[in-house]
Amino acid sequence: MLDITRHTASYEKSVHGSWIEAIAGAIDQINSGSCPKHLVNAIGTLVKFDMAMSVVYSRQRKPFYVCDTFQTEKAKQGLANYINSTYVLNPAYAAYCGRLNSGVYRIRELSSGNRVSSDHYHTLKIKRILGEELEYITECWPHNMEEIFIAISLPANEMGEISLLRARSKGGFVDADIALLNTHLPIIEAIYRQYWIKARCYASIDNTVTPMDYLLKTVFDGQLSTRENQVVVLVLKGTGGQDIADALGISLTTVKTHRKNLYRKLGITTQTELFSLALNTLALHT
């Protein structure tokens, strides 16, 4: 029994040490666009997950992309589909519109009835799949995952969401995971809120200039060709490669070449970095 107690104490000390080191890294980066990623990594020292993403909800516009840990282009496309379309179905978004308090929640426990039965929802990028937590899934979103999320109250009636996903084949999340996150919620919430206040996209965007026009006139202006500008706009809107090719009347191979070239010119390598670049640029638009 003594050996078991010592082992448990040693394990808890190790987890605690990892959390302290990781959360310190998030605090150190609070003025940087990488802060949310560091915060997600710190959360991973407390509760294991397979992937995570974060957005900020606002009643005036689509969710703001903040960060993600998705590894495949398909999963990233699923996230883009969510941000540009299917977020309106999500119980987290519905709860936010109903003034959800900060806390840690199971997504399925916020679901209320059949939200995908009307003809309006049939136009969204979803698939009805019995057995999924919500009985539907956004196109390209990872399948067979259990989801919990951290809701963070923000100024201007906005809400941050850090969503954690774990394969159901691994047992999903247990009540102890949620309790542990709730214990650490005050520091998670404080860091996220301070990061977002500094980014303050909701206050900094001039309503006379659309965010996309501002991006084209600043970070992309003079760096990208006319065709690359057209491609980057469609990418930021969540449009898939073949759809971009069809819209511009070019081949998919040409689309891929334009994406590769514009990524090189912007000093990035992934679509995730492109989203982060756009968000951080808008945050500086005062």
Q: Give mean pLDDT in consecutive 10-residue pieces for the chain, a chain of 286 residues.
A: 48 71 92 87 96 89 85 85 86 92 92 57 70 79 93 92 95 94 96 85 50 65 80 85 92 94 82 74 52
Spatial distance between the Cα atoms of 28 and 59, rounded to a whole number of angstroms: 31
CA distances from 228 to 31, 131, 202, 259, 269 (A): 30, 41, 28, 7, 15
Per-domain residue ranges of the chain: 2-200, 205-283
For domain 205-283, is the CATH number 1.10.10.10?
yes
Q: Contact, 126 vs 66, CB < 8 A?
A: no
The pLDDT score that the predictor gives to residue 229 is 86
CATH superfamily for 2-200 is GAF domain (3.30.450.40)
The pLDDT score that the predictor gives to residue 202 is 40
Spatial distance between the Cα atoms of 155 and 200, rounded to a whole number of angstroms: 9
- What residues have CB less than 8 Å from 189, skipping those under 6 apart? 102, 150, 152, 153
Q: Tell me, rounded to whole angstroms, the distance of Cα 3 from its chain centroid.
A: 42
Structure token digits, residue 136 = 């539907």
The pLDDT score that the predictor gives to residue 132 is 75
Torsions phi, psi of 99, nearest 5?
70, 60
